Amino acid sequence: MLEIKNLSKAYKAAKGQIHKAVDGLNLHVKPGDIYGFIGHNGAGKTTTLRCVAGSLAFDEGEILVDGVSFANDPIGCKRRMAYVQDNPELYDNLTAYKYLKFIADVYQVHSDAVKSRVEYFAGGFEILDKLGDPIGSYSHGMKQKLALIAALIHEPKLLMLDEPFVGLDPKAYVTLRGFIGEIRERGGAIFFSTHVLDVAEKICNRVAIIKNGKLIIEGDMQTVKGDTSLENVFLELTEDTANGD
């Protein structure tokens, strides 16, 4: 579903130096995967997600979504996926209804499908009654829910989420897990970054740990964590590499 081959992205740092945020990253997210992407702050998770989402130009490498190369058909790639930022910046002056209508039109979803999906997803997150209100009147959690609905509305094959569980109430968290499960059942994939390792351990079947833009370990959850917890593996591996191992 998602293939990242030798991805590199560097930023200009102070005094003309170059900071490599992502350095030769290779990942393969298969259909049906719930793929956790883990790393310290500044490890390169968001940069990777933004490169895949198409909101950041990358320096080297190749990204393929559902077999379609980003370099050859960026619009086709974007149409197959959805990306929710960790702190969704929405249009405060628009109503939630207008925003969802905008997204549905951009992804060319049929009006009947939009109606039923909005009822399903907004009903699930319990904000259906509030869709007529301006987004500016929404709380942070409601904005997060709205961004998730907007991402789910076109039934993406690949759903990318940056820290999706921050700001959600417990009920919404359970609801989101349900929606994620449905994407998986129909052959889609979920690729998400998180710092909440308990959650990652519970819901992901595959995981990758990244440090300083480089992949440290990647594979099935069971293989990666073995007999210990994901938290222990993460701490052990990131400390090891920090010591130069």
- Identity of the residue, 132 or 170, whose beta carbon is nearer to another protein in the bound complex: 132
Contacts of 55 (CB under 8 A, 6+ apart): 83
Please state the closest distance from residue 100 (CB atom) to another protein, in A. 8
Binding status of residue 4 toward another protein by CB under 8 A:
no
Which of 95, 169, 195, 205 forms a contact with another protein (CB under 8 A)?
A: 95
Which of 16, 17, 41, 57 forms a contact with another protein (CB under 8 A)?
A: 57
Binders of another protein among residues 113 to 152 (CB under 8 A) are 114-115, 118-119, 128-134, 136-137
- Identity of the residue, 18 or 57, whose beta carbon is nearer to another protein in the bound complex: 57
Please state the closest distance from residue 144 (CB atom) to another protein, in A. 13
233, two tokens: 């593996």
Binding status of residue 10 toward another protein by CB under 8 A:
no
3-state secondary structure of 115: helix
Helical (H) or strand (E) element with 189: strand 189-194
**How many residues form the binding site for another protein (CB under 8 A)?**
47
Binding status of residue 68 toward another protein by CB under 8 A:
no
Alpha helices (runs of H) in 17-110, residue ranges in sequence order: 45-53, 74-80, 96-106
Alpha helices (runs of H) in 125-208, residue ranges in sequence order: 140-152, 170-185, 197-203
Please state the closest distance from residue 26 (CB atom) to another protein, in A. 22
Nearest residue to 183 (alpha-carbon basis) of 208, 154, 206: 154
Binders of another protein among residues 174 to 203 (CB under 8 A) are none
- Identity of the residue, 4 or 216, whose beta carbon is nearer to another protein in the bound complex: 4
What's CA 36's distance to the chain center, in Å? Answer: 9
- Identity of the residue, 118 or 207, whose beta carbon is nearer to another protein in the bound complex: 118
- Identity of the residue, 82 or 224, whose beta carbon is nearer to another protein in the bound complex: 82
Nearest residue to 201 (alpha-carbon basis) of 163, 173, 229, 179: 229
Only segment of 62-70, 111-119, 177-185, 213-221 that touches another protein (CB under 8 A): 111-119
Please state the closest distance from residue 82 (CB atom) to another protein, in A. 9
Contacts of 237 (CB under 8 A, 6+ apart): 209, 211, 216, 217
Instruction: Say how far apart CA 61 and CA 99 lie, in whole Å.
Output: 34
β-bridge mates for residue 161, sequence order: 84, 192
Q: Which residues bind another protein (CB under 8 A)?
A: 50, 53-57, 74-76, 78-79, 83, 85, 88-91, 93-95, 97-98, 101-112, 114-115, 118-119, 128-134, 136-137
